Structure 1
């Protein structure tokens, strides 16, 4: 975790050192261990230093090569140092004395703009090449390290680790991107480039950017292959391969000059990271892993201490606790807005904020977490849809039944989610033989009425087109319209062409027909880098570096390539992880079916601890939302939520999205 900034003049004016200094001042929290800048001619680069690895103690950025032609600024952790050391020329310098930034600059000297293809790790960097009058920028494969930029053709290119540093310059407009706000209100986060500001963009993950006076060139240097399937000899071979890759993903993130910590929730992901890290650190004398866990005394149904304790009982860990029912989701927004540049927060944002505060107070600077193991490994639930399409209904029913038992839900719920859509499709396309065979097996396995299924999936799909034929006005009225949440004001939706945005997002989301396609869609969705950026800012606020072993390129490529039965098998999702970490994870965690639902604590925080702030927004600060939100819908949801009656999930999300956006707009208008 460090901070990088820079500006390149695209005309004959020189870059100004005062601009670089202004940007660096806004990022003081990202680098308390040093600040430096380099300004010469049309280019100026700056850096805020946070020491993390042993090599970073020797690092000086911006880094200038011996000829004075190349200048690098970076926020980076390079994980394939040993391999690069063999390929690049460092003379007699020992490996342990070479900072990560030296590897990046040497890679550029050897491979030019193809250098990101040779790097592993988390990185965002920019290299000014004076001989070519160009700036080369790159961001890591998953987008762990942030990179934002502003481009004014023929005038300037400005970049930074955080949006606030770019907006600190008076020449950068602060116009809100209403399209992005609309997508947030409509629960869409597909785009990987746009931000909440019209003129500030993000460099997408796995992309490079070349800036020259005539313009910008953007390209992807890596992508996931949705077609490749890995074939090994046995379940044991797959499990061993996973264990080796995951252990390496954790190992290379343990490189630190400071005490290490791990967020431990008791779930499968954070427990996997913590247990493997503990095992790797066991042979290092006088070294212990600190753990940081949310606990709940007042809202006991959210408490996961029985699972947390099974991990702690293994030893070698120093536990710390945060009483997560003692604050609400709005309790810290005034402080959070000092660091968070976009107001599109989820209802769980306060948990990592308080965990990071506890981490800083414990003197820990590097913290591991289990983000987003669900996506990386994949639950594999889409295997059920795949089995249905393959007409293997017997295996479908057996997996659905075991899944229901393992996750404590009715098998009919699994059937409705993954089986009935296929039956409906077959009825609509007149695939009677396939439909009849499926109905017979489902009846035999689950006892569901054959007559009811024939009516629902055989007759109704035939009747519906006839009904529409005799009601042409109704059909025409809905033609071309796309459903989006009623919270969004219709005039606003029309102004930003939200129908088209939602339709595009729906087409992307519905394109999957196999487990691997569904897995690929999840890994390439815009929400993943967005969440990574928010977690980066949340850690930076406390001068911490957060590391994510599940966001390892090698691990993600491996998991995507797995056969479907390695993801969902015997009713267990993420089977490859459960098998692969056998003997490392406590069995109580290894074979747990789900995790605690935090909704109760969210409502407790919002309606009890933060009630005054919630009411204040709803009663006095809705004018900022009026251009974007259907206030009648919002007020009705608020009344249901606060009346004491059981509110729907939609009501909770409607109120949350509107209130958090109102608070952010209030701060934005003040600034």
Structure 2
């Protein structure tokens, strides 16, 4: 992973070198493993200065000499990337195996760009963001990978003395280092964030700083501004195989490739997140098989011994250690580490969003255990940590869109057989829930919301968000404009559902933040595009068997995971003991609330009266109960995360 930047001065490059030096220096935290004395790598002409600070993470990075020139000097590229299809791409380009051995990924990317220009993105698999200056056409070209693992931000502005410029940086702080830009929170983006809307707009969390969206590419010209388009628009054709076992074998093959690609540069040891679920268990097990005789350190976050979990829903589990241990015991080269909250309060997490990620964090509770794992992995000398965050949309997709497809198309006998199997097996829903999920896509949003309230699952924005009442109408309007359903009704179209979830959050800043805070390259094999597109091609009915969801993953992993993990239908509850450290250190919440109340911008965005009421009632409220979970874990903690970010981004102390 690399920090890159470019500064294009339309009327002549008089400030480019100084501007780029500032931009790269501000992003130095994202290059913790930079070679000593390497410094900034820069290139410039009479219009633009372009450059980067390289953070070596791959074996071939010893050959990286960016910026890379191509097509006889016409193109100049800086790239932040890990290409996972090096051999296939080299074969397409006619590059020999011997030549490939001494090529950095940036060299390969330039060779592809020389051949296809911006269409090269259709030939790339992996994580990437790149910027190319076209010296002949005087234009800047940019692109990000399918899901946006590598971030890219930009700003178009005017210099104090006149003259326009266009600047690009990996992270917003690179742009905010320019002396002409004023740091301020983007209130529109924060409004949508508090309303839990998908991150669809180009605005970042800082005013005036835009982002190139995941799966997009853009052309920037001196007279036409930024012309961006989505280049990743999957429309997969159904895959027809002869048996469920053939689908399972194909899934194993895709997972092996996805994990193997992400072990590149890890050496003989890698860290993983290991829970009780299918995704992280499958990633850990596969990594152990592929890296052997190397070692896997699997970290499992769990509650302290003796935690009272009687208020945990029946379809959730508080302690994931027993099932995670069952997976770890199958592999002699897995070192299993238990992670118990060391007393860190969620309030202590809020600043990391601003300090490392240039954004507020969504779930402060989860960041407590994530940061603990990162601390342990760093101390153990790891450079790469694997997770399975996108597995629900790829590896272990549940296939539950199959139920409404059966019911609403009139195939009631098949629906009844699958529903009965689901209920008898102790699945997520009983008969009433199964019926609701099956007719949900056909119900109006208001009817669905009413049903959820009757079932005790109230998703009304007023209950789960601390957004100021006067701002909620704006959030609903933005949701309607984006075509986003705030009622969260079940979906009938499995591909549309998965794309909606995959595009909901831009994870690039989170990945950079992990690199900045802990020097760790966070990689998720379940977000591999080839794996995702394979899963999209599998018919929905293959994911359901005898009423049980995630059937394909369970069948595929029978040779890798213990029976009890494959048979488990409950989901793990992340950070169930979140309330203990929060209530043990009330002074941290008090100081955070006081800071928020001193910020006019934060008070404008948040329902501060409700915030104060929640704080006043916290000592007498059982935070383990469902209503308190909505009010405190979701509304109050997310609200304080946003308020704290606004305060910091506004320059308040």
Match of 1:474 in 2: none
Instruction: Look up the match of 2:239.
Output: 230
Query: Residue 370 of structure 1 aligns to a residue in which SS?
Result: coil
Give the match for residue 343 of structure 1. Answer: 360
Question: Which residue pairs with 2:56 in the alignment?
Answer: 51
State yes or no: 1:392 paired with 2:420: no
| Superposed displacement of residue 557, structure 1 | 0.9
The verdict on how the C-alpha distance between 1:623 and 1:520 changes in structure 2, with shifts beyond 3 A counting, is: same
Report the CA distance between 1:85 and its aligned residue. 1.6
Match of 1:112 among 100, 103, 117: 117
Task: Say if 1:36 and 1:61, in contact at 8 Å, map to a contact too.
Answer: no
| Pair 320,661 (structure 1): closer, same or farther in 2 beyond 3 Å | same
1:139 aligns with 2:115: no
Find the counterpart in structure 2 of residue 604 from structure 1. Answer: 580
Q: Which residue of 1 aligns with 2:282?
A: 272
The one of 194, 198, 202 equivalent to 1:185 is 194
Match of 2:297 in 1: 290
How far apart are residue 273 of structure 1 and its match? 0.6
Give the structure 2 partner of residue 469 of structure 1: none
Quick check: 1:152 aligned with 2:132? no
Indicate the residue corresponding to 1:661 in structure 2: 642
Partner of residue 541, structure 2: 565
Indicate the SS of the match to 2:355: coil
| Preserved CA contact (<8 Å) 1:134 1:210 | yes
Aligned 8 A contact 1:382 1:518 in 2: no
Match of 2:230? 220
Paired position in structure 1 for 2:21:
21
**1:414 paired residue among 433, 446, 455:** 433
- Matches of residues 161-176 of structure 1 in structure 2 within 5 Å? 161-176=170-185
8 Å Cα contact 1:356-1:539 kept in structure 2: no
- Aligned pairs (5 A) from 1:417-566: 417-419=436-438, 421=440, 484-485=461-462, 487-493=466-472, 497-505=474-482, 507=484, 514-527=492-505, 530-566=506-542
Q: 1:366 aligns with which of 361, 381, 384?
A: 384
Partner of 1:444: none
Moved more, 52-61 or 316-325: 316-325
**Greater displacement, 612-621 / 235-244:** 612-621
Preserved contact between residue 10 and residue 165 of structure 2 (Cα < 8 Å):
yes
Name the counterpart of 1:442. none
Shift of 1:617: 2.8
Using the size of structure 1 for normalisation, the TM-score is 0.84
Q: CA deviation at 1:507?
A: 4.6
| 1:245 maps to 2:254 | yes
Q: 1: distance between equivalents of 2:207 and 2:544?
A: 42
1:659 counterpart SS class = helix
Q: Distance in 1 between matches of 2:298 and 2:461?
A: 41
Matched residue SS, 1:621: helix
Task: Give me the whole-angstrom Cα distance separating, in 1, the residues matched to 2:270 and 2:345.
Answer: 28
Structure 1's 299 and 165: CA in aligned 2 closer, same or farther, altered over 3 A? farther
**Which residue does the alignment assign to 1:38?**
42
What SS does the aligned partner of 2:374 have? helix
- Kindly report the root-mean-square deviation, in angstroms, between the aligned alpha carbons of the 2 structures: 2.8
303, 309, 314: which one pairs with 2:325?
Answer: 309
Q: Which runs of 5+ in 2 are unaligned?
A: 310-317, 452-458
Aligned-pair distance for 1:627? 0.8
CA pair 531-642 structure 1, distance change in 2 beyond 3 A: farther
Q: CA contact under 8 A between 1:638 and 1:651: conserved in structure 2? A: no
Greater CA deviation, 87-96 or 146-155? 87-96
Deviation at 1:217, TM superposition (A): 2.1
SS in 2 for 1:174: coil
Cα distance change on mapping 1:492 and 1:299 into 2, 3 Å: farther
Q: Name stretches of at least 5 consecutive residues in structure 1 with no aligned partner.
A: 429-455, 458-481
Alignment length (residue pairs):
609
Contact 2:176 2:183 survives alignment (8 Å): yes
1:634 corresponding residue in structure 2: 611
Which whole-Å CA distance do the structure 1 matches of 2:49 and 2:368 have between them? 36
Contact 2:276 2:572 in 1 (8 A): no
Query: Aligned in 2, Cα 1:80/1:410: closer, same or farther, shift over 3 Å?
Result: closer
Query: Are the equivalent residues in 1 in contact too, given 2:139–2:221 (CA < 8 A)?
Result: yes
State the distance in 1 between where 2:415 and 2:342 align.
41
Equivalence map 1:4-19=2 (5 Å): 4-19=4-19
Alignment partner, residue 618 of structure 1: 593
Given that 1:70 and 1:129 are in contact with CA atoms closer than 8 Å, whether structure 2 keeps it comes out as yes
- TM-score normalised by L of structure 2: 0.86
Per the alignment, do residues 535 and 267 of structure 1 end up closer, same or farther by CA in structure 2, a change over 3 Å counting?
A: farther
Distance 2:96 2:242 in 1: 44
Q: Secondary structure at the match of 2:78?
A: strand
Partner of residue 312, structure 2: none
CA contact (8 A) 2:199 2:504 kept: yes
1:665 Cα offset (Å): 2.1
Greater shift, 4-13 or 61-70, is seen at 61-70
